[in-house]
Amino acid sequence: MSGFDTGSTGFMLLATSLVMLMTPGLAFFYGGLASKRNILGIMIQSFVSLGITTMMWYFVGFSLCFSGSGPLIGNLDQAFLRGIDSLTPFGDGAIPMVLFVAYQMMFAIITPALITGAFTGRVSFKAYLIFLIFWQLLVYYPFVHMIWGGGILAQWGVMDFAGGIVVHTIAGFAALASVFFVGSRLKRDSKPNSIPLVAVGTGLLWFGWYGFNAGSELQVDNITALAFLNTDVAASFATVTWLIIEWHREGKPKFVGLMTGAVAGLATITPAAGFVPIWAAALIGVISSIICYWAVHIKNKLKWDDALDVWGVHGVGGLAGTIMLGIFASQTVNGNIVDGLLLGNSSFFFKQLAAGVGSAIYAFLFTYVMLWIINKITLVRVSEAEEMAGLDASQHQEDAYTD
């Protein structure tokens, strides 16, 4: 019999399942926001990550992220999960290593899928598959290792509870780079094809985020419960704040705006969920909506065609949350972190600020260069005729709706 803690193991199995559910949830969220010609084209980009990223994680991904002591990237000691079986313990032995492998794999699956909302309706499926593989190798894996795998940022004292930098900042700024490289849609005035589908996706994302954030404690204790509540509090305050802002500015309460605010709050609390008191989570929720709404407004004013606001919500939200962790962190709340700026520790604040901004710049530049190289192999953007016909027909020869 193994000595694993059954409570923590059972909870982490549930948390892993919840994070997996977020990828189909993201597909529904993006699929509802896309035009009728591009529903399947955007949804398949999320679903295919479930398969390809799992394969990569088994081959080299887990090893490059969590084995070795290199400052920037791991090694291949655990490629093909060598040396890991059902009895191998993780950390202090509360859960098996295979469960940690599975949990982290779900993060790897959804992170590149987040980027796809920025270039919906414009990128060929072949180019996306190449992008999916190399973006993980060159951007995602290094940041996982640098922060969660004991790399240089972890040694420096940078903290990220559940993926403010590792997931949202790098995905959001990679999305912005892809917008600049690919260019604007030929037809930018398309409306969401199904707001109810967006609502289903939002519900699944919000539900899954409890596994995303609370599960990042990797065991069941008081911090698990705190992260769970902080996630809901921040999302709720952000939802209502976005609703109020948009109602005031546009004269009507908007359902899509309300749901966008929820995702902004969820993304922003992610790096801080288990490190800040509950009152700070509420404040982070309010601030996240204000900042992310402003970012989307600026994006629209500058005519950056980030179709589904990936940069404004995930990139800006993840970066803002990383910086706000540097302000509101409390060692009284969680003994594994130092106090933030509000409690007199300016050093930690500046570390979070530098790491957040640095990760955004890295993700932007590497993504842009990567797309330039991919474009030499196969054209990244589809032809005008294919774009006007829609990716569902031109890339996949399928229709979302029979009528």
Tens-place pLDDT, residues 89-148 = 999 999 999 999 999 999 999 999 999 999 999 999 999 999 999 999 999 999 999 999
Give the domain CATH number at 13: 1.10.3430.10
pLDDT at position 267 over 60: yes
Q: Work out the mean pLDDT of the chain and round it to a whole number.
A: 97
The answer to whether residue 401 is domain-embedded is no
What is the C-alpha to C-alpha distance for residues 196 and 161, in angstroms, rounded to an integer? 32
Reported as type and span, the H/E element at residue 89 is strand 89-90
**In this structure, what DSSP letter does residue 111 have?**
H
Distances (CA, A) of 175 to 34, 45, 118, 309, 355: 16, 14, 6, 9, 19
The answer to whether residue 81 is domain-embedded is yes
The whole-number pLDDT of residue 234 equals: 98
The answer to whether residue 52 is domain-embedded is yes
pLDDT at position 2 over 80: no
Q: For residue range 318-368, what is the model confidence (pLDDT) as tens digits? A: 999 999 999 999 999 999 999 999 999 999 999 999 999 999 999 999 999
Identify the CA nearest to 269 among candidates 219, 232, 307: 232
Name the CA radius of gyration of the chain, rounded: 20
Reported as type and span, the H/E element at residue 129 is helix 125-135
Specify the number of domains making up the chain.
1
pLDDT at position 3 over 90: no
Q: What average pLDDT score do residues 33-53 get?
A: 96
What is the C-alpha to C-alpha distance for residues 363 and 385, in angstroms, rounded to an integer? 31
pLDDT at position 1 over 90: no
The answer to whether residue 322 is domain-embedded is yes
The answer to whether residue 399 is domain-embedded is no
The answer to whether residue 400 is domain-embedded is no
The whole-number pLDDT of residue 403 equals: 66
Q: For residue range 376-389, what is the model confidence (pLDDT) as tens digits? A: 999 999 999 999 99
> 3: exposed, middle or buried (C-beta count within 10 Å: 0-12, 13-18, 19+)?
exposed
The answer to whether residue 150 is domain-embedded is yes
Assigned token pair, 221: 């204790």
The answer to whether residue 195 is domain-embedded is yes
Q: For residue range 280-298, what is the model confidence (pLDDT) as tens digits? A: 999 999 999 999 999 999 9
* Domain, as residue range, for 377: 6-392
